[in-house]
Amino acid sequence: MQLKRLRKEAQSGFSQCKSSEQLEALRVGLLGKKGKLSEILKQMGTLEPEERKKVGQEANALKQDIEAWIEESRVRLGQSTKNKILGQSLDITLPGKKPALGAIHPLTQTAYEILDILGDMGFESVRGPEIEHDFYNFEALNIPPEHPAREMQDTFYVAPEVVLRTQTSPVQIRAMMALQEVPLRVACFGKVYRHDQDATHSPMFHQIEVLCIDQDVSFADLKGTLTLLARKLFSEKARVRLRPSFFPFTEPSAEVDMSCFGCDGAGCRLCKNTGWIEILGCGMVHPSVLKVAGIDSEKNSGFAIGMGVERMAMLRYGVSDIRLFFENDIRFLGQF
Amino acid sequence: MHISIQTLRSLVDLPDLSPQELADKLTLGGLEVEAIQAFEDDTILELKITPNRPDALSHMGIARELAAICHTRTTFLAPSIKELGGSIHDLVQISVVSKEACPRYACRVVEGVQIAPSPDWLHKKLLSLGLKPINNIVDVTNWVLFERGQPLHAFDLDTLAKPKGRIALKIRSASAGEKLLTLDGKERSLLETDLVIADEDKAIALAGVMGGKITEVSNSTQNILLESAYFEPRGIRKTAKRLGLSTDASYRFERGTDPNGVIAALDRAASLIQEIAGGRIRRDAADVYPKVIEPLEISLRPHRLAQFSGLPEVEPAELRTRFLALGIETSGRAAHDALKFRVPTFRPDITDEIDLIEEAMRLIGFDQVPARIGFRKSLDGKSLDVSLDKLERHMKTFLSQAGFFEAINYSFGSPTELELFKATDLLTLQNPLGEEYSAMRQSLFPGLLNNLRHNLRQQVQKLSLFEAGVVFWGKNPAGQKPEMANLTAHNMAADAYAQEKLFLAGVSYPGDFFALKGILESLFDSLKVSVDFKPLSLQLSFLHPSQSANIWLQDAPLGFLGFLHPDFKEEASACVFALDLDLLKSHCFKPIQVKPLPKFPGIQRDLALVVDEKVLAGDILGVIRNFKTLKPILEDAKIFDVYQGKGIEPGKKSIAVSIYLRDLEKTLTEEQVNLPVESLKQELNTKLGAVLRV
Ligand SMILES: [Zn+2]
């Protein structure tokens, strides 16, 4: 009799249950250690065997039903919570909570991109001192004192024979002297200094020096490397043109023009209607430079490339005044 | 340099090309045309000649280049001369004292000239080249210089000392302090390294650079002495540079003129003078040329050319024809299939096989070389130390994503500003752009603070900047000559002379110490480096003394973090930091060794400790971390609350700390934990006077 009453009570309890807290209370009240059903089962020991069997079966059936009702109620309640959540909406046009974001300097970004392209071609990044001996900055590079080529570079002096490097090329010498073996493929990104200041010249600027030495490296390899670099950095369609030029530490030396990415060579304002943009200087490493560094110039040859990072960045981003790079105005830096 | 196309056409058989087409040919041949201008019925090309090509500093030089480029020939005429009267040797005697500095000196005498303005054709030629016509004599010398590249000088013969009726010219070093009034009207004080032309009494010209005022050709000049010489380039350059004088003559001499072109130019000028200004050319040229400079003979191996250029091998016959157009003649056959060439003395840039290879490539055209990448890709396992680059890049990426903008400032700054940041052994420039750029920076802060001020002026209210850059120390302030280098390390700088270190510094405005510290802590976590932040013990006078920290990496000072000193006024509300990347480099990017995930549960114990308010949170963590009894099971300890106020005695504070314990081998039991934690409380009490908060 107790069981029948309990069944009715439970049934109505579950059907009226409105929340998961109520449901849990119901469950504990029925099936918990001190729950009603548990109490009934505890008293069964006092019954006759026949009676005990019957009540046992009935109680078990009720227990199974209660478990089923709990499950049903759970599903029912879950759905109503879900519907409630689904009913709530967000104004997704309100602003997000942005973490503060800065930026890497455009010169660094440009240099990293170039170094990465070179890295894929097997060029490793090296560094050299910014305060250099005359020996590395000039003499080892085939620029003896009184050489007219020194006029091309106005030099800052720290002491007699100690200069602020005017180019990253001394790193060529240091890399060759340090490694002494081929193949040698290095790239050096760094600051260089010239006694010069106006809208297109800064007394400090950045260069990337590229050096490749191995058996049988030819001018064709240089041209191939430059073509790949121009295509990856500027445009898939870029072509390069090499014009004979003069640097004391390379021979032959060349100035490199790239087909204008603004007009693809047809002529526009960017290229002053020539279809070409001068991007860098390069050449085959002069045998006497190899000799200074202790590398056999009969067995080995190589090329060197020197590029101005500011020039590359100005071209890429359309910057016309070099001084913007060193003002560090957040309105400029914030655009990168 | 200016080149007249009309004059060019008189010197070389040119195909029918427009000025632009001619310019393009020259540019692609390595003689860059920077501008094309019309001048009356002529067209003028403006060329930028590289310093290795003195031969191209004249119309004949450019004509020769075009002949080679266009496969045509030059039409140069050998100068003819009509001599009259006695020999020059009866009148002029030359003695070259400085034989090394002046390998060749020659002159001619023209008597009875009529000084007048130049005829129209010459007048126009000079104007078209941007030169100022002066008189028919000077104009001829200038014109021949631009025609042939040989500088000439005309003296008024009657201004030269003539004891016993003879002029004795001396080419000698100046005596120290010797004075010479040059053509530009300036009195020059000379050194022993300067070369002069002198008569018996005095210096009359600064050799190869500028003539003297006293012996200048004037309107009353009747007789002239015409000089043509070859001076050693280095000496001329030294003098010209020291005096800050660059003349058309010195520009050419210092790059190298043709010692064997001296007489042709002299004769050309003498006969032009005769033609224009009348007069008689005395018989003979005086010519002191004791040691003839012979053309060099150089071998070229065609296979080396092919290997070096990537061009297909060129036929010897073609090479010979190509070179001949430049005046480079074949000179028999050298050993081993090499070709031998005789290089004319007007090409001082060609001294080796590599120079001939360059000439050949230039003539064939760089555009004929294929583009390919044939070099080996692998580095055969050799590798360089790139950890500094990797670290720098990592930090830049991290900081830019944490809200910092990268700045780049000049490496030199004002010594006064640098002194504010504890400069020692500042390295200064001998020739700075100005006082404010005269010292190599030893701190990145002057630059960053300037950037901060600049941005604050633009109404920016919040700003975080960083810069990574080399800072410099002088190692040898006595100015001794530096020693040669050890060649491997990055920071050996100019070796004995300077020390360079790569630093990264930042500024955050307005400053929030713990926000910045948190960013740095995350940064160090990302580098897997553990550092200690400790109260300032290294004297850094520009920092707030009690709101700043030294950052230690083991026992070495890695950097610092904190508020600027209130002396900085406006910027004092900024927080700054600086880190030594050279030091940090050797401690990060260590290979990762994964620890097994814990198999057994850990236990957390929270302690609320009351301590004197002077006790630092770090001291408490230090005691916990170093407490031996707990060490085997201590996983971590963290501060989670600091409290002062109600319920806490004044002068004291409560610090709450969570201690995480775990045994890697088995499940920790309460007994295992209770005893050591009890003795930890004891230890905290003994060492820091900490009592449990009740
Ligand atoms: Zn264009």
Chain segment B405-436, per-residue pLDDT in tens? 999 999 999 999 999 998 888 999 999 999 99
Q: pLDDT-derived band of residue B188, with 50, 70 and 90 as boundaries?
A: very high
Q: Which of residues 35-74 of A touch B (CB under 8 A)?
A: none
Q: pLDDT-derived band of residue B656, with 50, 70 and 90 as boundaries?
A: very high
Q: Does the structure show a pLDDT above 70 at B637?
A: yes
A278 Cα to the center of ligand 1, angstroms = 11
Question: Which pLDDT value is given to residue A26?
Answer: 87
Q: Return the structure tokens found at A129.
A: 């001192």
Cβ(B391)–Cβ(B527) below 8 Å: yes
pLDDT digits (tens, 9 = 90+) for B560-574: 999 999 999 888 899
d(CA B367, nearest CA chain A) in Å? 7
Q: Which of A40-44, A172-176, B615-619 bottoms out in mean pLDDT, i.e. has the lowest?
A: A40-44
| B375 touches A at CB < 8 Å | yes
C-alpha B660: how far from chain center = 58
pLDDT digits (tens, 9 = 90+) for B298-327: 999 999 999 999 999 888 898 999 899 999
Q: Determine the CATH number of domain B603-692.
A: 3.30.70.380
The third-level CATH classification (topology) of the domain covering B296-368 is: Phenylalanyl-tRNA Synthetase; Chain B, domain 1 (3.30.56)
Return the residue matching tokens 């000089």. Answer: B227
B197: burial class by Cβ within 10 Å (0-12, 13-18, 19+)? buried
Beta-carbon contacts of A224 under 8 Å, excluding residues fewer than 6 positions away, are B371, B372, B373, B374
Q: Which of A36-50, B149-163, B440-454, B463-477 bottoms out in mean pLDDT, i.e. has the lowest?
A: A36-50
Q: Do A159 and B50 touch (CB under 8 A)?
A: no
Burial code (b: 16+ CB inside 10 Å, e: under 16) for A130-158 equals bbbbbbbbbbbbbbeeebbbbebbebbeb
CATH 3.40.50.410 fits domain B2-69:
no
Nearest to A282 by CA among B303, B371, B349: B371
Q: Which of residues 448-487 of B touch A (CB under 8 A)?
A: 451, 454-455, 458, 460, 463-465, 469-470, 472, 479, 481-482, 484-485, 487
Q: Which residues of A touch B464 (CB under 8 A)?
A: 100, 102
Rounded Cα distance between A52 and B48, Å, is 118
Rounded Cα distance between A210 and A175, Å, is 11
B450: phi > 0 → left, psi -120 to 50 → alpha, else beta; which? alpha
Q: Do B411 and A197 touch (CB under 8 A)?
A: no
Question: Which pLDDT value is given to residue B126?
Answer: 96
Q: What is the mean pLDDT of residues B542-548?
A: 93
What is residue B433's DSSP assignment?
S
Question: Which pLDDT value is given to residue B97?
Answer: 95
Q: Do A162 and B497 touch (CB under 8 A)?
A: yes
Q: Do B296-368 and B2-69 fall under one CATH topology?
A: yes
Return the residue matching tokens 């020291």. Answer: B242
C-alpha A234: how far from chain center = 19
Q: Return the structure tokens found at A58.
A: 């009935």
Rounded Cα distance between A128 and B490, Å, is 6
B375: burial class by Cβ within 10 Å (0-12, 13-18, 19+)? buried
Question: Which pLDDT value is given to residue B495?
Answer: 57
Residue B93 pairs in a beta bridge with B168
Cβ(B581)–Cβ(B395) below 8 Å: yes
What is the interface pTM, i.e. ipTM, of the complex?
0.86
Mutate to test the interface with B, among A97, A104, A192 (most CBs of B within 10 A): A104
Cβ neighbours, 10 Å, residue B544: 19
Question: Which pLDDT value is given to residue A269?
Answer: 86
Superfamily of domain B387-587: Bira Bifunctional Protein; Domain 2 (3.30.930.10)
d(CA B214, nearest CA chain A) in Å? 30
Q: Which of residues 206-235 of B touch A (CB under 8 A)?
A: 233-234
Q: What is the mean pLDDT of residues B627-650?
A: 92
d(CA A295, nearest CA chain B) in Å? 15
Nearest to A222 by CA among A125, A167, A301: A301
Q: pLDDT-derived band of residue B484, with 50, 70 and 90 as boundaries?
A: very low
Q: Return the structure tokens found at B129.
A: 């080249």
What percentage of chain B reaches a pLDDT higher than 70? 95
B460 closest CB neighbour out of A224, A287, A330: A330
Burial code (b: 16+ CB inside 10 Å, e: under 16) for B239-261 equals bbbebebebebbbbbbbbbbbbb
Q: Which of A21-25, A146-150, B513-517, B521-525 bottoms out in mean pLDDT, i.e. has the lowest?
A: A146-150
Q: Does the structure show a pLDDT above 60 at B489?
A: no
Q: Which residues of B touch A240 (CB under 8 A)?
A: 371
Average pLDDT, chain B: 91
> Domains of chain B: which residue ranges?
2-69, 83-288, 296-368, 387-587, 603-692
Q: Which residues of B touch A135 (CB under 8 A)?
A: 484
What is residue B176's DSSP assignment?
T
Q: Do B482 and A162 touch (CB under 8 A)?
A: yes
| A245 touches B at CB < 8 Å | yes
Question: Scanning every residue of chain A, which has its alpha carbon at the shortest distance from the alpha carbon of B306?
Answer: A218
Concatenated DSSP letters for B248-311?
A: HHHHHHTT---GGGHHHHHHHHHHHHHHHH--EEEES-EEE-SS--PPEEEEE-HHHHHHHH-P
Tell me the pairing of strands B104-111 and B83-87.
unpaired
Q: Do B437 and A203 touch (CB under 8 A)?
A: yes
Mutate to test the interface with B, among A328, A332, A333, A336 (most CBs of B within 10 A): A328
A277 Cα to the center of ligand 1, angstroms = 8
Nearest to B537 by CA among B554, B519, B518, B552: B552
Q: Which residues of A touch B406 (CB under 8 A)?
A: 102-105, 108, 333
Rounded Cα distance between B356 and B305, Å, is 9
Nearest to A113 by CA among A234, A247, A256, A289: A234
B366 Cα to the center of ligand 1, angstroms = 22
Q: Do B408 and A101 touch (CB under 8 A)?
A: no
Rounded Cα distance between A135 and A21, Å, is 85
Question: Scanning every residue of chain B, which has its alpha carbon at the shortest distance from the alpha carbon of A239?
Answer: B371
User: What is the four-CA torsion angle of B619, B622, B628, B634, rounded to 10 degrees?
Assistant: 130
Q: Which residues of B touch A238 (CB under 8 A)?
A: none
Q: pLDDT-derived band of residue A89, with 50, 70 and 90 as boundaries?
A: confident
Q: Which CATH architecture best describes the domain B83-288? A: 3-Layer(bba) Sandwich (3.50)
Q: Do B494 and A221 touch (CB under 8 A)?
A: no
Q: Return the structure tokens found at A64.
A: 């199974």
| A199 touches B at CB < 8 Å | no
Average pLDDT, chain A: 89
pLDDT digits (tens, 9 = 90+) for A281-316: 999 999 999 998 889 999 999 999 999 999 999 999
Q: pLDDT-derived band of residue B378, with 50, 70 and 90 as boundaries?
A: low
Rounded Cα distance between A250 and B75, Å, is 34
d(CA B653, nearest CA chain A) in Å? 33
Cβ neighbours, 10 Å, residue A191: 19
Question: Which pLDDT value is given to residue B380?
Answer: 55
Q: What is the mean pLDDT of residues B655-683?
A: 91
Q: Which of residues 331-370 of B touch A (CB under 8 A)?
A: 352, 354-355, 357-358, 361-362, 366-367, 369-370
Q: What is the mean pLDDT of residues A177-191?
A: 87
d(CA A304, nearest CA chain B) in Å? 14
Question: Which pLDDT value is given to residue B56?
Answer: 97
Q: Which amino acid is at B261?
A: G
| A101 touches B at CB < 8 Å | yes
Rounded Cα distance between B448 and B418, Å, is 12
Q: From residue B173, how far is each of B157, B187, B236, B249, B331 by CA, in Å?
A: 22, 17, 12, 19, 39
- Vertex B343 angle, CA B337 and B349, to 5°: 110
A170: burial class by Cβ within 10 Å (0-12, 13-18, 19+)? buried
Q: What are the φ/ψ torsions at residue B333 (nearest 5 degrees)?
A: -110, 130
Q: From residue B157, how far is each of A35, A86, B108, B161 by CA, in Å?
A: 137, 111, 11, 9
Q: Do A243 and B52 touch (CB under 8 A)?
A: no
Q: pLDDT-derived band of residue B85, with 50, 70 and 90 as boundaries?
A: confident
| A274 touches B at CB < 8 Å | no
Mutate to test the interface with B, among A97, A158, A232, A297 (most CBs of B within 10 A): A158
A335 Cα to the center of ligand 1, angstroms = 24
Question: Which pLDDT value is given to residue B384?
Answer: 65
A263 Cα to the center of ligand 1, angstroms = 4
